[in-house]
Every structure is written in structure tokens, then in C-alpha cells.
């Protein structure tokens, strides 16, 4: 961020106020209103933060009109093609691509933290078997602060580092255990001879009774899902993590807050909602009816997995994810799966429809990741936990960045109050 000679002038009741304009490395200029209230006595009003930058950050940049997503300056397409998830984790956390030696050391560190404290298994057993795995994850990740006391002091840089590594390493184990518990199978311990994505698939699909070989095409597709969901600048869950952290809360509590926020169907829950919608549509024959409903202003139905708050031309993650979806569908075959056949036809029909073209609504990353996860054999309830484990590195990187920021303040938005003015209490017998 650099100060420029540019400023904006705001006039209220004939009084003028100069507001500095800040210029970022990429993206639109930002009007600095930090002194507005102290100087002019007014607030700004921006529900949904559609025009408000809540922080400065050097991690991720999105240009929604161009369909551009950069992590530390590197385009997501290049990272998805040439890199892999743990390297992207290093990049997000430390700001630069690692040397070969640094990457080896980082991967070894993450690998050595994959098990969770044995006593934490009891937490899982306390949940009902039909609990949503996201509910289990919110609880278990929050409970990590009760186990890893030696990494909750946010003032200690080394403890912050250890907490980051623990969260990235243990999240797949926690997500896989939540899944195994929900289907009544034994927990499968992590295998450190497998890479991050293959280990996750192994923990989800292996059983102690027999050998399970992870297919390299599925492991690669899983790694891509992780990579494409790793960070997405100041979205709702990341902003939740930052807001929780601004009060000085410990890292495990902050990430649990992020998981809770991600769960909603307008955010991370969209991949589950999308697959449920495909099941409801049931067959390609019913697609015209559902497209008509999505266009009907009097019907609240929306095509889940279509549209995006920021990307208004295309979602660059979806372009890469589509390639993986095609590979996985070729491997697994769609002929016998009406949901996947419906997805392929819906994609075609919506892209050819004028309403969707005019409103710039195209399949987003969750449309394709949902299809891949369905083809791999995950139940829909696991889609959002997989998003949560992928996004953990983004939350942690933003959390680390915020704690290192000398300007950090507790987050405390203002409001436009529309309730009653002051009035006297009325005794109950007089109401
Ligand atoms: N189906 C039908 N119409 C839609 C859809 C849709 N999926 N999305 C937006 N529209 C219409 C909407 O009705 C509105 O029409 P009009 O201007 O006539 O009132 C117009 O498009 C603009 O919609 P909006 O709600 O103002 O747009 P937004 O930027 O606030 O919403 C969104 C973005 C993602 C919440 C929305 O597109 C949506 O609900 N999509 C389905 C849910 C989904 O797939 N979410 C995952 C997003 S990607 C994951 C992530 O990054 O978290």
C-alpha cells in the first residue's frame, strides 16, 4: 500500500473533509476513512462489505472481472498445473516458493504432526453417529486448544508456527475421523509414507480388514481440490477468523469459528447443496423445469454451484477443476450414475441459456468439486469438511499476517441503528 497525492473530498452540511486515497499493488484505489468518525462524526454504511476493505494483506489477490486469482502473485492456474498443495501451503504461509530443501523440511514437519492425541478419539465417540461431520469438526478443532497448550500463546512466534503446522497436518485426520465415525467404521491412522492427499483418501476409504491402494489419478484430483480451495482473500470465513483473532483468541478457537462460518450454503456449503440439488433434479429430462424455476423471480430456487459474489465473468478455479472433473469422470464412468449425467447436462444447458449468460452466472468451483467428490465416493456431507481442511492454510496464513500487523485492532463494526429511541421502562402491570 502506498500513499498517493490523491484524495477524496466529502462534503457534509457545507463542511469539507479530505480523505486520503491509498493505492494497492493490484486492484482499485481505497479511500481511507479511518479518521472519518473522529473528524466528521459520521459512520459509513456498507452491509455485506461490498465496498469495504477490512484489512491490508499481501497473501491473495482476486480480480473478479478478469477472473484472476493470485497467491503471493502467482496465478492459480500455474499453481494448479505445476505445484501441489503442500508447496502452495508453504507459499501462502511464508510468502515465497520454497527451495527444494525447505520444501522437504516443511513436508517432513507436516507429516510428523498428522496424528491427533489419542485421548481426542473420545470426543468423536461422544457425538451421535448421525452428526454432520462439520458439527463434529467445529467441536473437535475448538477442543484442540484444550490439548495443545504449548501452541496457544499467540504472542510467541514459535508457538504460532507450531499451531500452524499442527492445524494443517491434523485437519485431514480430523475430517477423515469425522467421516469414519459417521459410517460406523474404525478410525484409520495416518500413513506417513503417503503424500498429503493420498493419505487423506486412505484414511477415508481404507479399512483395517484389507489392503487399499490409492489411485494416483484420484490422489492428484484430491490434491487439486485442496490447492484450488487453499485461500480466497477476505471471504466470509476468513473474515470470521480475523475477527475472532482480533480479540486475541487462540488459533484453534479462531479456526473453529472459520469452520462454523464456512458451513453455510452460500459459502462452503454450496458444494453439498449443489449435489443435493442434482439429486433432486434426478435426471437430465427434468433440467428445463429447474432452469425455469431458477429464472422465476417468484421462486426462491437458485441453481446451486452457479454464480459468485466476486467472479463476474468466470471462476478461474472452476476452469482447472473442470479438467480434473473430466479426468475423474472418465476413470469412474458416468453412464451408470444419473447424478453425474444430470450434472454434465445441466452445465451445458445453463451455459447455453440467455438468462445465465446475461447475469454472468457460470458454474463455480464448487459445482465441479462436488461432482468429483461424488464420483470418488464421498457422501455429500463430507464435501464441506473437505473444503474446510483445504481452506485451513488460508485461514492460518491470514491469521499469522494479522497478528504480525502493528496496526492490528480489535474488529468492531458500527451500525445504522433503526430501533426505538430512548423510552421509559413500563411496569409489567401497565403493559
Ligand atoms: N441461480 C439463479 N439465479 C441467480 C443465481 C443462481 N445460482 N445466482 C445469482 N442469481 C441471480 C439473482 O437472482 C440476481 O438476479 P436479479 O439481479 O434479477 O435480482 C442476480 O443473479 C445477482 O445475484 P446476487 O444474489 O445479487 O449475487 P451475489 O453476488 O450477491 O451472490 C452467490 C453470489 C454465490 C451468493 C449467488 O450467485 C448464489 O446464491 N449462488 C448459488 C450458491 C453457490 O453456488 N455459492 C458458492 C459460491 S463459490 C464458493 C465460495 O467461494 O465460497
What is the structure's pLDDT at 132?
94
Collect all residues with Cβ–Cβ distance below 8 Å to 404 and sequence separation of at least 6. Answer: none
Burial of 247 per CB tally in 10 Å (0-12, 13-18, 19+): exposed
Of 1-5, 180-184, 208-212, the range with the lowest mean pLDDT is 1-5
Q: Please name the helix (run of DSSP H) or strand (run of DSSP E) that holds residue 70, with its range, or none.
A: strand 68-71
359 ligand 1 Cβ < 6 A: yes
Q: Model confidence at 173, in pLDDT bands (50, 70, 90)?
A: very high
Question: For residue 291, how many other CB atoms are within 10 A of its CB?
Answer: 19
Question: Atom of ligand 1 at shortest distance to CA of 268?
Answer: 52
176: CB partners within 8 A, 6+ apart: 187, 188, 200, 203, 204
- Closest residue by CA, ligand 1 atom 26: 309
Summarize pLDDT for 335-379 with one digit per residue, the tens: 667 887 888 899 999 999 999 999 989 999 888 888 899 889 999
Neighbours of 11 (CB within 10 A): 9
Residue 320 in this model has a pLDDT that exceeds 70: yes
Does the C-beta of 270 come closer than 6 Å to ligand 1? Answer: yes
Report the C-alpha gap between 143 and 123 in whole angstroms. 9
Q: Is the pLDDT of residue 140 over 90?
A: yes
Whether 60 has a pLDDT exceeding 90, the answer reads yes
3 pLDDT higher than 80:
no
Give the least confident one: 274-283, 323-332, 367-376: 323-332
Residue 342 C-alpha to ligand 1 middle, in angstroms?
A: 21
To the nearest whole number, what is the mean pLDDT of the chain?
93
pLDDT at 144 over 70: yes
For a mutational test of ligand 1's pocket, the pick from 225, 265, 305, 307, i.e. the residue with the most ligand atoms closer than 8 A to its C-beta, is 307
Cβ of 292 closer than 6 Å to ligand 1, yes or no, is no
Ligand 1 in reach of 87 Cβ (< 6 A): no
Q: Give the Å distance between the CA of 392 and the centre of ligand 1.
A: 25
Atom 4 of ligand 1, residue of closest alpha carbon: 302
Q: What grid cell was written down for 318?
A: 472452476
Q: Ligand 1 within 6 A of 307 CB?
A: yes
Q: What own/partner pairs with CB < 8 Å and gap ≥ 24 does 234-240 have? A: 234/49, 234/53, 234/54, 234/55, 234/57, 234/398, 235/267, 236/261, 236/262, 236/264, 236/266, 236/267, 237/261, 237/262, 237/267, 237/268, 237/391, 237/395, 238/391, 238/394, 238/395, 238/398, 239/49, 239/54
- Each as own residue / partner, the long-range contacts of residues 407-416 (CB below 8 Å, 24 or more positions apart, any chain) are 407/56, 408/246, 409/246, 410/246, 410/247, 411/54, 411/242, 411/243, 411/246, 411/247, 414/37, 414/43, 415/43, 416/43, 416/45
Q: What is the structure's pLDDT at 268?
A: 82
Q: What is the pLDDT of residue 335?
A: 67
Residue 324 has pLDDT above 80, yes or no: yes
The pLDDT of residue 2 is above 70: no
Amino acid at each position: 500500500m502506498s500513499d498517493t497525492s490523491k484524495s477524496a473530498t466529502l462534503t457534509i452540511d457545507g463542511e469539507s473533509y479530505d480523505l486520503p486515497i491509498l493505492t494497492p499493488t493490484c486492484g482499485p484505489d481505497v479511500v481511507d476513512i479511518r479518521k472519518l468518525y473522529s473528524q466528521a462524526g459520521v459512520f459509513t454504511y456498507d452491509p455485506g462489505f461490498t465496498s469495504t476493505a477490512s484489512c491490508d494483506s499481501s497473501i491473495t489477490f482476486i480480480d473478479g472481472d478478469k477472473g484472476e486469482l493470485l497467491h503471493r502473485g502467482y496465478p492459480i492456474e500455474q499453481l494448479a498445473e505445476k505445484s501441489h498443495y503442500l508447496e502452495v501451503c508453504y507459499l501462502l504461509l511464508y510468502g515465497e516458493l520454497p527451495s527444494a530443501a525447505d520444501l522437504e523440511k516443511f513436508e517432513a514437519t507436516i507429516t510428523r504432526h498428522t496424528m491427533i492425541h489419542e485421548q481426542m478419539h473420545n470426543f468423536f465417540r461422544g457425538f451421535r453417529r448421525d452428526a454432520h461431520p462439520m458439527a463434529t469438526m467445529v467441536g473437535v478443532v475448538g477442543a484442540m486448544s484444550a490439548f495443545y497448550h504449548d501452541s496457544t500463546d499467540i504472542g510467541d512466534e514459535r508457538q504460532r508456527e507450531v499451531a500452524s503446522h499442527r492445524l494443517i497436518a491434523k485437519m485431514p485426520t480430523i475430517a477423515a475421523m469425522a467421516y469414519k465415525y459417521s459410517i460406523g467404521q474404525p478410525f484409520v491412522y495416518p500413513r506417513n509414507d503417503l503424500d498429503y492427499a493420498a493419505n487423506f483418501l486412505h484414511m477415508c476409504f481404507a479399512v483395517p480388514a484389507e489392503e487399499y491402494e490409492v489411485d494416483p489419478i484420484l490422489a492428484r484430483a484430491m490434491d487439486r481440490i485442496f490447492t484450488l480451495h487453499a485461500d480466497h482473500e477476505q471471504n466470509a470465513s476468513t473474515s470470521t477468523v480475523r475477527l475472532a483473532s482480533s480479540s486475541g483468541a487462540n488459533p484453534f478457537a479462531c479456526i473453529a469459528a472459520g469452520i462454523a462460518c464456512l458451513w453455510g450454503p452460500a459459502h462452503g456449503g454450496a458444494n453439498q447443496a449443489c449435489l443435493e440439488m442434482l439429486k433432486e433434479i434426478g435426471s437430465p429430462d427434468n433440467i428445463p423445469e429447474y432452469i425455469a424455476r431458477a429464472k422465476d423471480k417468484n421462486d426462491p430456487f437458485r441453481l446451486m454451484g452457479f454464480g459468485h459474489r466476486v467472479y463476474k465473468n468466470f471462476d478461474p478455479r472452476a476452469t482447472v477443476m473442470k479438467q480434473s472433473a473430466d479426468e475423474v469422470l472418465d476413470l469412474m464412468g458416468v453412464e451408470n450414475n444419473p447424478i453425474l449425467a444430470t450434472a454434465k447436462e445441466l452445465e451445458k444447458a445453463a451455459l447455453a441459456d440467455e438468462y445465465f449468460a446475461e447475469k454472468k452466472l457460470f458454474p463455480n468451483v464448487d459445482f465441479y468439486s462436488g461432482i468429483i467428490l461424488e464420483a470418488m465416493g464421498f457422501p455429500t456431507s463430507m464435501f464441506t469438511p473437505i473444503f474446510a481442511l483445504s481452506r485451513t492454510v488460508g485461514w492460518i496464513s491470514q491469521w499469522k499476517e494479522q497478528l504480525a500487523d502493528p496496526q492490528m485492532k480489535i474488529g468492531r463494526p458500527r451500525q445504522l441503528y433503526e430501533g426505538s429511541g430512548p423510552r421509559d421502562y413500563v411496569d409489567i402491570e401497565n403493559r
